[in-house]
Structure 1
Amino acid sequence: MAQGLPGVEININTDRLGQTDQTEDSIVGLILTGSTVAGADNITTGTAKQLFSLEGAEAIGITASGTNAFAHTAIKNFYAQAGKGAELWIMLVTAAIKMSEILDLTGDFAPVLLDAAQGRIRTLAVSQKSAAGITVANGVDEDVDLAATKGQALAVAYAGKYKPVRVIIDGKDFNGTVADLKDYKTTTHNRVAILLAGTGGKNAAVGLLLGRIAVNPVQRSVARVRDGELGITAAKFTNDAAIETLEDSWNAIHNKGYIFLRTIPGKAGYFFTGDPTLTADSDDLASLKRVATIDKATLIALGVFTDNILDEIPLEENGKISPALIGNWKADIENAINQQMTNNGEISGCKATIDPDQDILGTSEFKASLDILPVGYSEYIKIDLGFTTSLDN
C-alpha cells in the first residue's frame, strides 16, 4: 500500500502532562472552611475525601463560585504546583470551626482525616476563612497561637504511633505590625509551621505551599531557587498588603520563624522564604525538611527491625550478642537507609551502632542507635567582590 514520500513520522503523546513526581513521603492533607453540597457523592463537611485533580474536586461540588470558592482556590493552587495526579486528602468544615478545633487531638476533624488516610499524610495544612469579628493577638488571629500548640500535640501523638505528620497553619489576619508578631523561635513546636502570606486577601496560600511540598523529596527546601518561581502574579501578607510594603522588615519576620513570600534580585516572580518550624534554630527539627528527613529514616528503621520482634537471639557463651549477628543487623539498617535515602541524595550517609554488652537476656530489650548525616544547604552565600590591577594571582 502506497504511503507517500519517505519520511519521519512523529506521534505526539497528549496525555503525559499533569503527571506528578509525588512519592509516599509527600502525601498531604488539607482541612479548611467550606460547605456541604447536596447530591450523591458530593462533599459533606467533616468527611474525608481523596483527590487527584482539581477536576475531581469540582466533580464533588468544590467549584470556583458559590459556597466552596475558598476551598477551590486552595486546591487550584495546590495542583498548579503539584500537577494533576498528585494525591491530596481534604476535609471541609463549617465557617465557625477554628483551626485550633480542627487540630484538636480529641476532636472530629484532623484525627479523622489522618486516620482515613491510614497514616499516609505527611503534611497537614489547616485554614479557616477570614471573616469579620475576629480578635487579633500576636499580630494575627488569636486562634493561630492556640492552633500551633494543638498542632504540635497532634503531630507528636501521631509520630508516637509511627504515623508522622507536619502541620502548617494559616497565619491569617495579620495586622501589618511586625513588632506584634510572636517570636516563635522561643517556642518548641518543631513539627509546626506558620505561613503568613498568600496571593491576596487575609488568608495564607496554604495550598500553594502544600503543592510545592508534594513534589519535593524530603530533604528539599520549598524555597530552593533552582526549582523556579511559583507562577503567581501577586504576593501579599495576610493583611492583604503587597509583600514589598514590608521589605525592610523581611529579615525580622523571618527571624521570628514565619514562612512568607519574597522576591529575589535578578529573578522574576515570587519564592518562599524558607520552611522554618516554630522552634529555636538550634533544634535539629528547626525546618520542615529536617522533620521530613528524620521521619522517613524512622519509618525505614521501623520496617527493618519490626521483623525481629520476639525473634530468638542466639547468645555467646558469655551471654553477649554474637558479633556476627550484630554485624548483620547493622548492615541491614544501613543498607536500607542508604538505598532509600543516601543514594537518592536525601541524606549524606548513616551509621548504625549496637552495643554488644547490652543485657538482652535480663531485660528482653534490644537497643541500637542510628546516626543520620543530613545534607547541607547554601542558605547564605558570601562573595568578596572588587577590582584588581592584575589577574595573575
Structure 2
Amino acid sequence: MGTSLTIQRENGNVPKTLPGEDHITGLVFYMAAGDIPDAFRTERVQALSTIDVAEAAGITADAASWAVKVLHYHLSELYRLNPAVSLYVGIFEKPQGAQTFAELKTVQNYAAGRIRQIGVWCGDTPLSAEALTTLQGIGDALADEEAELSIVYAPKVSSVKQQAVNLAGANQSRVSVVIGQTGSGTGAELYKDKGNAAKASVSGLGVVLGLLSRAKVHQCIAWIKEFPTGVSLPAFGDGTLVRDVDKALIETLDTTGRYLFFVTHTGQAGSYMNDSHTMDSGISDYATIESVRTMDKAVRGIRTYVKPELGGNVYVDPTTGQLASYTVAHLETVANQALEAMERDGELSGYKVEVDPAQDVASTGLVEFVIKNVAVPVMRHVRIKIGFAKSV
C-alpha cells in the first residue's frame, strides 16, 4: 500500500461574530425549582454562545425535565436561524403568586444593559392583561435606565379561539406576544409529550428570537424573501394547525389581537411570520418591533455622542445673547453622528437635528435638541391592477 495523507474536517463549533450589538439577545425561562439544571442553581444567568455550551450547562434534549427539553429546543431553533447570536439565558423558579418579571432586569443587568431583545417563556401560564402591563412596565423602567429592549412573551395558549380576545392597546410598544408554534418535528413532539393533564404551549419563541436577532433594526421579520422560519407545519400554541383555522379568525388574531404566529403563502415554500406586531395600538408610531428597535438604536447612539458634552461650556453671541452659531453647529454635528451612520447603513431614510439658538441657556443650563427621524417603511400590502388591452 502506498503512502497517503488524510485530512478530516470537523465542526469545531467556533462561535460566529457579528458587528455592533443589535444581535445581543436574552432569554428568560421559568420552571419548577426541581427542574433547574445544577449549573444554573448558583448562577441563574449565563452567556451561552453555542448549543454545545448550553448542553455542557445541563440544557439537553434528553433531560429528565420537560421544561429543560423545551428550553433546549428553543435554543436549537435560535442558533439555527442565527449562529452568530450573542445570547444570555436566565433560568428562574416559577413564582407561586403573580409574576413581577423582575428577572428581566436581572438578565439585562448581567449583560451590562446590552441586550436588545429578550424572550420570556411562560408556556404554562395563560396570557393576561396584567402580564402585559407588568412587562411593559419593566420595559419602560429599563428604558429609563438607558437599557432599552424589546420583549417577546410566550404564554400558554389554552384555545386559539379564546385567544382572539383583544388585549392590545396604547402604550404597550415594548411587548410582543407569540402564540404560534410548530405542528411537526421536535416542537410538536414536545407538545404531545406534556400530556393532557398539564398541557402547556411549547411556543415558537426560539424561532422569533432567531429572526429578530438576525434582522437589522429596520427590517420586518415577516419579510418573505429574507426571513423564512424553517417551520414546515405552522400551528398555534394549543396544537391547532394554522391550516385548520378559519381565515376570519386568523385575520382577527393578526390585525385585532396583534399576535405573532407562523403562516404560509401560496406559491412560496415553507412558512413565515404573520407580521412584526407589538401590543401597542395599530396606529401608533411604535406598532411594529422594527420601529421600536430603530428608535432605540437612534436613542442609544445619540446618547453615546451627546453625553460627553454634559458639563461643558456653550458660547453665546454677546450682542443677542443667543447661542453662538458655531456652538449650535457643533452640537448639531455631535448629535448627527449616530444618525448619519444609521442612514448610511440603510436603517433610516433621513434625519434632521435642530438646536434653537434662542434658548436661554445662561438662566436654565438646559439645551434642547429637536431630532426628526425619517423611517424606512415596510411594504406590507401590494395592489396590482391587471387586465387585457388592445395594445400596450
What TM-score do the two structures reach when normalised by structure 2? Answer: 0.86
Is 1:378 matched up with 2:375?
Answer: no
Q: 1:337 aligns with which of 336, 339, 360?
A: 339
Q: 1:165 aligns with which of 134, 144, 149?
A: 149
Find the counterpart in structure 1 of residue 91 from structure 2: 92
Structure 2 unpaired stretches of 5+: 1-8, 183-187, 192-200
How far apart are the structure 2 equivalents of 1:222 and 1:96?
A: 32
Give the C-alpha shift of residue 23 in structure 1. Answer: 3.6
* SS in structure 1 at match of 2:40: coil
Residues 45 and 92, structure 1, Cα contact 8 Å, conserved in 2: no
1:343-388 Cα shifts (integer Å, max 9, x gaps): 0100101100111111100001111111000011111000012222
1:115-162 Cα shifts (integer Å, max 9, x gaps): 1011011111111243xxx6xxxxxx1x44322111100000111111
Q: Please tell me the root mean square deviation across aligned C-alpha atoms, in Å.
A: 2.3
In structure 2, what residue type is equivalent to 1:294? M
Is 1:76 matched up with 2:72?
Answer: no
Q: 1:186 aligns with which of 169, 191, 207?
A: 169
Give the C-alpha shift of residue 36 in structure 1. Answer: 2.8
Q: 1:120 aligns with which of 110, 114, 118?
A: 114
Find the counterpart in structure 1 of residue 294 from structure 2: 293
In structure 2, what residue type is equivalent to 1:330? E
Residues 95 and 129, structure 1, Cα contact 8 Å, conserved in 2: no
How far apart are the structure 1 equivalents of 2:92 and 2:11?
A: 37
Give the C-alpha shift of residue 96 in structure 1. Answer: 5.1
How far apart are the structure 2 equivalents of 1:74 and 1:357?
A: 55
How far apart are the structure 1 equivalents of 2:27 and 2:96?
A: 14
Residues 123 and 154, structure 2, Cα contact 8 Å, conserved in 1: no
What TM-score do the two structures reach when normalised by structure 1? Answer: 0.86
Give the C-alpha shift of residue 226 in structure 1. Answer: 1.2
Find the counterpart in structure 2 of residue 29 from structure 1: 26
Residues 25 and 85, structure 2, Cα contact 8 Å, conserved in 1: no
User: Which portions of structure 1, spanning 4 or more consecutive aligned residues, are displaced by more than 6 angstroms?
Assistant: 12-18
* SS in structure 2 at match of 1:186: coil
* SS in structure 2 at match of 1:125: strand
How far apart are the structure 1 equivalents of 2:370 and 2:151?
A: 27
- Cα 1:172–1:367 shift into 2, 3 Å: same
In structure 2, what residue type is equivalent to 1:190? S
Residues 45 and 94, structure 1, Cα contact 8 Å, conserved in 2: no
- Show the 5 A alignment for 1:1-393: 19=16, 21=18, 23-34=20-31, 35-38=35-38, 42-44=39-41, 47-66=44-63, 67=65, 68-83=68-83, 85-95=84-94, 101=99, 103=101, 107=102, 109-130=103-124, 141=126, 143-177=127-161, 181-199=164-182, 200=188, 201=191, 202-248=201-247, 249-256=249-256, 257-317=258-318, 318-339=320-341, 341-391=342-392
Give the C-alpha shift of residue 184 in structure 1. Answer: 3.5
How far apart are the structure 1 equivalents of 2:43 and 2:95?
A: 13
Find the counterpart in structure 2 of residue 137 from structure 1: none
How far apart are the structure 1 equivalents of 2:117 and 2:23?
A: 7
- Cα 1:358–1:237 shift into 2, 3 Å: same
In structure 2, what residue type is equivalent to 1:253? L
In structure 1, what residue type is equivalent to 2:371? L
Q: How many residues align?
A: 360
